[in-house]
């Protein structure tokens, strides 16, 4: 499995959305496989050392995966709101507020580039993961223009990404997965026309 698919969305909540995708005409769901889910969490820097240990407990891991499933559904709604309205509809914002109420965080101070920074961290592994994903949603909503959030242009592909390129012309989830294939098809189509 190509692990770059875990992070190609460019931000955590879109990477969560991308945990279902099409591969050779079959739908893959990373969240149905607990070891792949752990790899996904690690690739997205969502686990502290203590979380990795805590998640050896199957019940805790299952509960986290359950939480990820519901959050992914909410991410789908958020994406569809952004595509249709350019912003969240009030009902979606309410669902986000409801979810955040269940997440418990603590304040801490961490050292970042020789400076002390006040930061929040989840109390349990599940709190920590959900908090960070919601944080990425809020960060996208306040800092990213919606025309920079796009679906891959390949019709059979359902992956989303934030286009952080300077020109803002990114078309594919990744060159490797879709870009090269599509470019080759376009090239041959042009050649045929001539
Ligand atoms: Zn694609």
29-82 pLDDT, tens digit per residue, is 999 999 999 999 999 999 999 999 999 999 999 999 999 999 999 999 999 999
Centroid of ligand 1 to alpha carbon of 187 (angstroms):
18
Q: Is the pLDDT of residue 1 over 60?
A: no
Cβ atoms of 123 and 104 closer than 8 Å: yes
For the cut 60, the answer to whether the pLDDT of residue 12 exceeds it is yes
pLDDT at 131 over 90: yes
Nearest in space to 14 (alpha carbons), one of 183, 118, 163: 163
Distance 177 CA to ligand 1 centre (A): 6
- Do strands 26-29 and 105-112 pair parallel, antiparallel, or not at all (unpaired)? unpaired
Distance between Cα 189 and ligand 1 center (Å): 19
Tokens of 134: 């919601």
Convert the pLDDT of each residue in 78-123 to its tens digit.
999 999 999 999 999 999 999 999 999 999 999 999 999 999 999 9
> SS3 of 30, please?
helix
CA 154–ligand 1 middle distance (angstroms): 5
pLDDT at 184 over 90: no
The model's confidence at residue 175, banded by pLDDT at 50, 70 and 90, is: confident
CA 152 to chain centre: 14
Q: How far is the CA of 145 from the centre of ligand 1 (A)?
A: 21
Taking ligand 1, which is a single-atom ion, which protein residues have CB atoms under 5 Å away? 152, 154, 157, 159, 173, 178
Distance CA 111, CA 177 (A): 38
Q: What is the model's pTM?
A: 0.91
In angstroms and rounded to an integer, the radius of gyration of the C-alpha atoms of the chain is 18
Compute the mean pLDDT over every residue in the chain, rounded to the nearest whole number. Answer: 93
* β-sheet bridge partners, residue 20: 29
CA of 118 to the centre of ligand 1 (A): 38
Q: Cα of 132 to ligand 1 centre, how many Å?
A: 25
pLDDT band (50, 70, 90) for residue 25? confident
CA of 152 from ligand 1 middle (Å) equals 5
- Provide the strand spans (E) within the chain: 20-23, 26-29, 105-112, 115-122, 149-151, 160-162
Q: Is the pLDDT of residue 2 over 70?
A: no
Residue 133 has a pLDDT of 98
pLDDT for the residue numbered 4: 87
Ligand 1 centroid–CA 96 distance in Å is 28
Q: What is the mean pLDDT of residues 149-164?
A: 93
State in Å: Cα 79 to ligand 1 middle. Answer: 17
Domain locations along the chain: 3-193
Superfamily of domain 3-193: Jann2411-like domain (1.10.3300.10)
Inform me whether the pLDDT recorded for 6 exceeds 90: yes
> Of 65, 189, 186, which is closest to residue 126 (Cα–Cα)?
65
CA of 188 to the centre of ligand 1 (A): 19
């Amino acid at each position: 499995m190509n692990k770059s698919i875990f992070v190609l969305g460019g931000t955590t909540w879109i990477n969560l959305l991308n945990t279902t995708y099409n591969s050779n005409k079959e739908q893959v769901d990373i969240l149905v496989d607990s070891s792949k889910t752990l790899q996904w969490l690690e690739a997205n820097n969502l686990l502290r050392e203590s979380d990795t240990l805590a998640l050896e407990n199957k019940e805790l891991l299952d509960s986290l995966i359950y939480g990820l499933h519901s959050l992914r559904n909410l991410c789908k709604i958020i994406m569809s709101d952004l595509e249709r309205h350019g912003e969240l509809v009030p009902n979606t914002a309410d669902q986000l507020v409801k979810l955040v109420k269940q997440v418990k965080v603590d304040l801490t101070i961490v050292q970042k580039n020789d400076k002390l920074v006040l930061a929040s961290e989840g109390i349990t592994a599940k709190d920590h993961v959900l908090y960070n994903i919601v944080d990425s949603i809020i960060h996208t909503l306040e800092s990213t223009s919606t025309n920079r959030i796009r679906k891959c242009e390949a019709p059979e592909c359902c992956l989303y990404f934030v286009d952080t390129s300077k020109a803002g012309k990114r078309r594919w989830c990744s060159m490797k997965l879709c870009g090269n294939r599509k470019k080759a098809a376009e090239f041959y189509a042009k050649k045929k026309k001539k």
